A and B are shown apart, each in its own frame.
Chain A
């Protein structure tokens, strides 16, 4: 995975709360394989009308926000379904960072596993950032080493789980680390089988 250190990029406001993963990627698009890409269906039903025309005032459709890599939303972004394709859609569209006051737990873990930074800010700072973008603000700098976002004359601290921060900074994947503990896992499993015989399914 590509390490995330500092990102200076166009930001897109999404002044909505509770943007759940069903809205980020509607269920009917989830049959796609990863290789087919999910970017074009990101927030499909918010972005596109039933007749196929774009929703003019939806922020992602604003030409000024083309190429945005940072998304700024309100609280509880990515709640709901565990579908990792919600993160595929964001990442394939080009986003590498989502800024919001709170995130769904599973969604934020999925973000980190795809090199996308879920940056938590206070509600007040989030509102300032949204207002700055609404006023025509465009590019922001997200510094993961310092956990700081700079937007024009504003600067905010953000929070991210320290373990996730390390993972993102280094572009690490869990699996190789886990495989280095194979012996410990085997020893645990053997002891556990004796300690909790009832945990083994009886089988049919």
Chain B
């Protein structure tokens, strides 16, 4: 059944990285263009209970428990010495454990030393590899594309479909390439690149597209930074985001527990080297960004597209391109309690949060700590490492002391204040400088106001008590 499924190959069969991975996973394509894809890894978390519920309703079992991995992250409290106090939250964590045990799924549960946020744990454990197709009932599954994997979030019906069959029906998305040229300046990183892209193309700018990030500024990024960038692909509406694997990828993966080892690893690397877009392959859409033009970015509104350089001011709805956009801006400015024309650096914050699958890896913590070292935070804040292993490593490096001495709280790993469902919330009306990915209304708690930015920028906001340019705090030339 080799029906046209929207595949397009360039000169001499040249293909994009995305198409190569897609083709590798295509079991069959229907007349109507839908393709049944093989799934290499399926991550489940407490929120996957609906998927398991549908499975139970059919009296079915998990088809491939060896390819399914459970992680407790969304609901786990970040202060959990003495167990989980809230019965509702405890129920969610226990339900995941019961579903995992009943189906023979490996679980990184509450008390596992490898526990953490699913999008931190997968890469850390070597479960995420180049060329894999990875799904999870969580939109930020795009994160795993940093390794040159095709990784995307799915809904509960699809979760149950994957649990039952290890496959998924999909229509081949369009391809978009975002090329980032040049070098970023000091204190400008993946978060700033990603938010600049989203501000430019919109929160729905990549809908229906698989994004490939390329160019010298991308090649220069560490694995941690690539994970941050791909994580935010969904905030541009992308189906997935990916970066072709290279020496940085291979070096990160060598020796990871679930990755191939020894000779098998070397053989894998030679296969992975073929995972690159052919020179003549074509994309449905191409975007170019100049890294040198990017300044540290913060969001001012209630969508990740509401992002500006910290040196700018709250925009004026009067300058919007149409009435609908003006209404959207007015609504966001009212919710956020701001005034048009107000310099962003005049915005006072009530608290800060460092964590989430976007920015909670060891490099993120090092970056924030380097700003906070020897300084005091003017406001309270929470630091939640992305995994229990990241936490251990940070403690070995003394980063926990830096945070504590600055006056911030150092807690256990989990989704924490990213999502307002595990006990960590921003109180109504309060303003939080946050390393998370969503400044949606009420995301961090009902009535909470969120400004998203990089870990270094959150650390700077903590010190200043307002949004501020980290370069002014650390005194480095712009």
Contacts and interface: CB of A to CB of B under 8 A. Distances in A.
Interface stretch (A59-67, A71-79, A138-146, A149-157): A71-79
A76 B237 contact: yes
B271 A109 contact: no
Given A178-B167, A189-B166, A20 B419 contact: no
Nearest to A188: B27
A28 B420 contact: yes
A18 B421 contact: no
A83 interface: yes
Contacts of A201: 41, 66-67, 127, 258
A105 B207 contact: yes
Contacts of B443: 22, 27
A127 B156 contact: no
A31 B91 contact: yes
Most buried by A among B89, B91, B169: B169
Given A105-B237, A199-B131, A82 B138 contact: yes
B245 to A, nearest CB: 12
A194 interface: no
A84 B438 contact: no
Given A27-B421, A185-B165, A202-B258, A161 B171 contact: yes
A61 B434 CA distance: 33
A31 B88 CA distance: 8
Interface string B426-449: 001000000000101111001100
Contacts of B166: 185, 189
A174 B158 CA distance: 9
Most buried by A among B131, B154, B156, B171: B156
B204 A30 contact: no
A188 B237 CA distance: 31
B253 to A, nearest CB: 10
Contacts of A85: 50, 156
B2 to A, nearest CB: 13
B40 interface: yes
A163 B34 contact: yes
Interface string B11-38: 0000000000000100110101110101
A20 B165 CA distance: 30
B157 A105 contact: no
Interface stretch (B259-267, B352-360, B373-381, B395-403): B259-267
Interface string B147-167: 000001111111011001111
Interface size class of A (residues with CB under 8 A): 35 or more
A127 B88 contact: no
A33 B66 CA distance: 27
Nearest to B130: A198
A127 B153 CA distance: 31
B47 A30 contact: yes
A185 to B, nearest CB: 6
B84 interface: no
A106 B36 contact: no
B46 to A, nearest CB: 9
A22 B442 contact: yes
A35 B430 CA distance: 35
B165 A198 contact: no
Interface stretch (B175-183, B219-227, B324-332, B461-469): B324-332
Contacts of A22: 438, 440-443
Interface in B103-127: 106, 126-127
B106 to A, nearest CB: 8
Given A113-B157, A163-B34, A202-B261, A31 B92 contact: yes
A203 interface: yes
Contact of A189 (B38, B158, B272): B38
B27 A185 contact: yes
Interface in A5-41: 15-18, 20, 22-23, 26-28, 30-31, 33-34
Given A45-B446, A50-B446, A178-B36, A197 B237 contact: no
B153 A179 contact: no
Contact of A45 (B67, B132, B442): B442
Interface residues of B, number: 85
Interface string A178-204: 110100110011001000111101111
Contact of B129 (A45, A114, A174, A199): A199
Contacts of B214: none
Nearest to B34: A163
B343 interface: no
Contacts of B419: 27
Given A127-B324, A163-B171, A184-B27, A202 B36 contact: no
Given A109-B158, A127-B324, A175-B165, 16 more contacts: A18-B203, A18-B302, A26-B446, A28-B421, A76-B202, A76-B237, A82-B139, A82-B155, A83-B155, A103-B207, A106-B154, A162-B32, A189-B166, A196-B24, A196-B271, A198-B265
Interface of B: 24, 27-28, 30, 32-34, 36, 38, 40-41, 47, 49-50, 53, 58, 66-67, 88-89, 91-92, 106, 126-127, 129, 131-132, 137-139, 152-158, 160-161, 164-167, 169, 171, 173, 202-204, 207-208, 234, 237, 239, 257-261, 264-265, 267-268, 271-272, 302-303, 305, 324-325, 327-328, 331, 419-421, 428, 438, 440-443, 446-447
24 contacts: A18-B302, A28-B420, A31-B92, A79-B237, A82-B137, A105-B239, A106-B139, A106-B152, A110-B156, A110-B158, A163-B171, A174-B157, A174-B161, A178-B165, A178-B167, A179-B164, A181-B28, A185-B27, A185-B165, A192-B38, A198-B264, A198-B267, A198-B272, A204-B257
